[in-house]
Chains A and B, each alone.
Chain A
Amino acid sequence: NAGVTQTPKFRVLKTGQSMTLLCAQDMNHEYMYWYRQDPGMGLRLIHYSVGEGTTAKGEVPDGYNVSRLKKQNFLLGLESAAPSQTSVYFCASSFRGDEQFFGPGTRLTVL
């Protein structure tokens, strides 16, 4: 089992560019999450999904969109990147919504 994987690992964008981060899990988990990690702030929830075809806003959703077309994949999109979105992004998945398994992270820099 690969667990939770994230693509890409690193990315540099210019302000206004768009991109999509891909998260994949092979554990047949129902719940999937996107977090961002900023220094001194722990992880903050951006969006989450409790099943295929469903998504919901988390704590800091502005400027991001998500889609869960397949159970194993959860995509995070930035339509028009801003420097404030420079961060490390973590995807996680969970079977029953309790213990979460995390991917290795994507380090994004917006210039």
Chain B
Amino acid sequence: AQSVTQLDSHVSVSEGTPVLLRCNYSSSYSPSLFWYVQHPNKGLQLLLKYTSAATLVKGINGFEAEFKKSETSFHLTKPSAHMSDAAEYFCVVSERDTGRRALTFGSGTRLQVQP
């Protein structure tokens, strides 16, 4: 069985400072990992994905994440926060080696960006 734990339900940063959103996963198979972002009253947008190629993954809007198998982590980072980054972020794991191909979502981290 697979699971995802997002270690912080809320993160608050000042504009221009670094962002770190933490995610740990558990998977019986070779995982695909994703970060999705959801702005208020909107659908989910893919930020980036890891599918067993490079362990450092670059996404949209300056975000990146590093897959660390030894730590079972996939933390999301950005060097400098922007006001438009305020949203909810979901870490997601996929069962790549099973027929269902469903995603398991973390409970989300709400990012606040202070001016």
Contacts and interface: CB of A to CB of B under 8 A. Distances in A.
Interface of A: 31, 33, 40-45, 48, 50, 56, 58, 90, 92, 94, 96-105
Contacts of A103: 43
Given A90-B44, A103-B43, A40 B9 contact: yes
Contacts, number: 54
Interface residues of B, number: 23
A45 B43 contact: no
24 contacts: A33-B102, A40-B107, A40-B108, A42-B106, A42-B108, A43-B90, A45-B102, A45-B103, A50-B99, A50-B100, A56-B100, A58-B102, A90-B43, A97-B94, A97-B100, A97-B101, A98-B32, A98-B49, A98-B101, A99-B34, A101-B46, A102-B36, A102-B43, A103-B43
B43 A104 contact: yes
A9 B96 CA distance: 31
A104 B38 CA distance: 10
A8 to B, nearest CB: 15
A99 B46 contact: yes
